[in-house]
Structure 1
């Protein structure tokens, strides 16, 4: 990332907290009757910076008494496997047979619908002002952003949800990591839009 990209990301990170506390965000205003799902996309190279800033934002919001839940999706997947006594078996399978065998074996236990159901039980949407999800990059390709959001759609009600996405989001398509030739359609809102950079003549 160059200096301009880092500066723009820092500006966007600083805009997250005011957005999460805004009346429009909390009450789903101005969304045209669409569900309040938001995406904050960023370069995977900035993963550490984003996580550090997100932790600080969450600490400040907790001190202000805001009711929300922040879940790391990788931790959620580990918890799911542990709850079904599959975590140690998964480690052993990966050690012996590698990535492809592990992905194939976990396709059923970590079906997107099952993950969504597990998340909803942890989240309890009606008890939260909003929900923050991070850690998606560590779960790929076991978990895909567009598939997860689609699976959660019916059960979140009016509770806003923000997915922190390591890649790029065009407003219509999710591109994982910005280097993988995979465009996945999903219609959500940009939590903090990117600045439109002027073109130098």
Structure 2
């Protein structure tokens, strides 16, 4: 990966292009992108996302940056359903793999439909002129696998670009998280910048 600062600058230039926001030039594919970076640069990426949101929130552009932290969505859902404390106890008694299954079931992550809690939240909170930034992928791994979001999000959000910030490496086909864990699932996404 090239210098992260220059890649983040390229990201900003890319999102300002009208063709990017209209999903032009993608061979009729949905405009989903992955911005990969080294996990140790997470704080730098978070700061830049916050900076971009602040910079473009005044309405000087014809788009709105909408940021969804996948981890925060999961925690908020668990709190709303009254399951957060129960999950902590369940993890102690049954283990992490069982709590992962239980949370995925509660969020309806195994279902390929619009009743999925995370997809519904994103759909219901995205204006028509948005560019969606998805972050928090590393914080919720392996509780939530990013391919489940990208491969199902097209059912409810296909008219605005989506950029997933991924703390690992994306080769255009597979995501490699934390230099050790390879996810060979197919991703409906393009690499945003090299």
Match of 1:122?
125
2:154 counterpart SS class: helix
2:107 counterpart SS class: coil
| Structure having the higher Rg | 1
1:108 counterpart SS class: helix
Q: Deviations over 1:130-154 (max 9, x none)?
A: 1111011111111111111111112
- The number of residues matched between the two structures is 186
Partners of 1:101 and 1:145 in 2: how far apart? 19
Higher helix share: 1
Q: 1:20 to 1:81 in 2, by over 3 A?
A: same
Unaligned runs of 5+ in 1: 195-201
Equivalent residue in structure 2 for 1:84, among 67, 81, 85: 81
Unaligned runs of 5+ in 2: none
Partners of 2:183 and 2:134 in 1: how far apart? 21
Partners of 2:149 and 2:190 in 1: how far apart? 16
Equivalent residue in structure 1 for 2:8, among 13, 24, 36: 13
Quote how far apart the aligned CAs of 1:40 are: 0.3
Q: In angstroms, what is the RMSD of aligned CA positions?
A: 1.9
Partners of 1:19 and 1:147 in 2: how far apart? 25
Quote how far apart the aligned CAs of 1:96 are: 4.8
Equivalent residue in structure 2 for 1:94, among 91, 95, 99: 91
**Partners of 1:131 and 1:162 within 8 A in 2:** yes
Match of 1:199?
none
Length-normalised TM-score, structure 1:
0.84
Length-normalised TM-score, structure 2:
0.86
2:125 counterpart SS class: helix
Match of 2:143?
142
Quote how far apart the aligned CAs of 1:107 are: 2.8
